[in-house]
Amino acid sequence: MAMDERDLIRHFFGEPGVDPAAKARARLLLGEAMQGRRRDVSRIGVAAAIVAVLVVSALVWSTSRPRSAAARALDDLAAVPYTALEPGSGEYLHQVSEEVRTEAQEVLGGGEVRAQVLLDVDQWLREDGSGEVRSVTRAVTFPSPEDERAWSESGGPPLPVAGRLVRDEFGPGEGPLVAAEDIPVDPDLLVTSLRDGSIAPYGQGDALAFALIGDLLAQGNLPGPTRTALLSAATTLDGVRLLGPDEDQLGREGESFSVRATNVETRLLFDPDTGGLLSRETYEQTPSGAWDLVGWQAYISVELVRRIPAAAS
């Protein structure tokens, strides 16, 4: 019988085996999950169930470092089946999002006026990496009465105008989306690259590295291993926390995670059913110590389309 490289691989890995004790522990763990840890355990069996859970947990987890609730939840998101959307010939990757960003401008007298700008954003990416981004200003508001008063007292300087369309076409490698080959999947290198700006210059601190992870995940076109590596990298960021169930600014429900740095906090909201990113929110700490929402992005859809519609103007 001839041998090929597959036989060599099988020889290399050796004969698989099943440890009956490990199987019994796994079955206990599954049984605990099937019964519902909190809801359905009978009163009589509570003490026994707790002891069993502790024993099984100790056995199963004794060989690995304990992981935080955030890390486990991110692991679960990574386990959700995922299919990358890669545009083929004649196709476009179309991402639709809404975002609010705070724009500040100096006014007479040295003060500052802040305005919050709500944008509808569409971006299309071709197979060769070229594409187009369009953003339409939908509304402009002031984040506080003080900002509106300062704007008025400074003579009402120009603000972004609702309905304004900004359209940018870009060539291969020039667009806002990061190419998969520029994102390392080696865990240590990925975290370093997220932090040092070599993937995209988001700034210093793990809150911004977390924001970058969010935007990369929202692209929808990264290979599965890259997506998993990004979620795994998120578990290693300083101060990553699971905030639990929450809603985004569009009222969509999901599971929220946070990374807070010196004066910036990034929150990512995931849909636990699809593993997809729903939104990213940015908070900044005010001098009084409060944390203000200063910007957000809601990722509405990402899909493959055959054409880019004509721009309205």
Binding site for another protein (CB under 8 A): 1-6, 8-14, 16-19, 22-23, 25-27, 29-31, 33-36, 60-61, 63-64, 75-76, 78-84, 185-187, 223-225, 228-229, 232, 273
Least Å distance between CB 55 and another protein? 14
Q: How far is the CB of 192 from another protein (least distance, A)?
A: 15
- Looking at beta carbons only, is 76 or 120 nearer to another protein? 76
Strand partners for 146: none
Encode 274-300: b = buried (16+ Cβ within 10 Å), e = exposed. Answer: ebbbbbbbbbeeeeeeeeebbbbbbbb
Closest to another protein by CB, 66 or 201: 66
Whose Cβ is closer to another protein: residue 171's or residue 187's? 187
Q: How far is the CB of 27 from another protein (least distance, A)?
A: 6
Among residues 40 and 103, whose Cβ is nearest to another protein? 40
Closest approach, Cβ 186 to another protein, in A, equals 7
Q: What would the DSSP string read from start to end of 14-72?
A: ------HHHHHHHHHHHHHHHH-TTTT--STTHHHHHHHHHHHHHHHHTTS----HHHH
Contacts of 91 (CB under 8 A, 6+ apart): 126, 127, 304, 305, 306
Question: For another protein, which is the closer residue by CB, 131 or 275?
Answer: 275
Q: How far is the CB of 40 from another protein (least distance, A)?
A: 9
307 contacts 90 by C-beta, under 8 angstroms:
no
Q: Is the dihedral of CA 183, 185, 189, 192 positive or negative?
A: positive
